[in-house]
Amino acid sequence: MDLRYGMNPQQSADATPVRPGRWPVRVVHGRPSYINMLDALNGWQLVREASRCLGRPAAASFKHVSPAGAAVAGPVDEVTAQLHGVDRAETGALTSAYLRARDADPKSSYGDFAAVSHPVDEELAELLAQVVCDGIIAPGYAPGTVGRLGRKKNGRFLVLEADPAFVPPERETRELFGLRLSQQRDEVPCAETLLENVVCGALPTTAAEDLLLGLVVLRHTQSNSVCYLRDGATLGIGAGQQSRVDCTRLAGAKAGTWWLRRHPAVRALAFGPGVRRQDRINWQLRFIEGDLTADERARLSAALAQPVPEFTAGSRAEWTARLKGVSFVSDGALPFRDNVDHAQRHGVDYIAEPGGSIRSTEIEDACREHGISLVRTGLRLFHH
């Protein structure tokens, strides 16, 4: 298969099945690039595993080979429903999963590659037609949905179909700078048995499900990586950082922003009828960040139908303190307690990490100090 181009337009690229004639995916519409295929293959593996693990439809929003957000089917809250103009009570399971995945980091999900665990229905196709998304991978498509999606982006929207029966080879191989690297595929299931070693605290069913989803997400996220989750959806993902605490702070900031988007002052931003959805999202985020330049203040005022509401530091802090019941998962051992200290600022009550650090006792002490339940999985999930 000839690809549109490689990682950059100046690079030619193609794709060949490891086993001749046995393709894990097929192109239904469009012409993918090298990165499109990486996003699609990573995204499909994530949602397939998440759905099997939790028994619900799953979705992911991928950008640059890591998920911006991931979720299983569940209730769509008022903020997400209002943003996308959907009826919370009428939203189907698969559409709810994608809406919740995309809402984790709507700025990063702009121009994403979507992945869903179940065949695309008319409802999801209609939603995808209205958001800025570059393509989707799914195990099937309802009649008429491919045609609807194929008209996006002047006919350049990518539609890929995954083979749910495809079994990958036991070993994975990549070539880099004239060297062929090979390793056994990581097939350890993300199952409840990984959560049996509860070092301190208690682990309710809802938290266990969030931790399992987090393990699946990080298995397909560029390391170092951590994620914050609640109610079957990611709130913030930190990926590809050299320092784990930087991942923790980055993902925590995203989780904090997700929560602040629910603050009454942010919801009170009344935009004019001509302001597009993504512009509304971007203005909400800049309003939350609070460091608007003089030019931005003028442009925000012009975009609003009413004056900007007051949003004080005290209001932010009081609202932030309300966030509770958040789960936190790390793909590698937490090396220092600062990860725990930062995580608890964002409502974290449950942590899952492999353990094995020389400072594991300090991690446990920090969790006990903050009243956080700690689970040691014994499983590292690096992904590069």
- Work out the number of other CB atoms within 10 angstroms of the CB of residue 285: 16
From residue 139, alpha-carbon distances to 21, 124, 125, 267, 309 in Å are: 18, 14, 14, 36, 45
Catalytic pick from 36, 42, 224, 339? 224
- Residue 152 is a catalytic residue: no
Strands 373-376 and 198-200: antiparallel
- Residue 153 is a catalytic residue: no
Q: Do residues 374 and 351 touch, judged by C-beta distance below 8 A?
A: yes
Enumerate residues 6+ apart whose C-beta is below 8 A from 228: 234, 235, 236, 237, 251, 252, 254, 255, 326, 327, 328, 343, 346, 348
Catalytic pick from 64, 107, 153, 370? 64
Phi, psi of 240 (to 5 degrees): 70, 25
From residue 149, alpha-carbon distances to 47, 66, 170, 254 in Å are: 20, 23, 35, 30
Distance, in Å, from the CA atom of 160 to the CA atom of 157, rounded to the nearest integer, reads 10
- The burial class, CB within 10 Å (0-12 / 13-18 / 19+), for 138 is buried
- Residue 8 is a catalytic residue: no
- Residue 342 is a catalytic residue: no
Rg, the chain, Cα only: 21
- The burial class, CB within 10 Å (0-12 / 13-18 / 19+), for 365 is middle
Catalytic pick from 29, 36, 42, 63? 63
Nearest Cα residue to 98 out of 36, 45, 151, 43: 43
Active site residues: 63-64, 224, 384
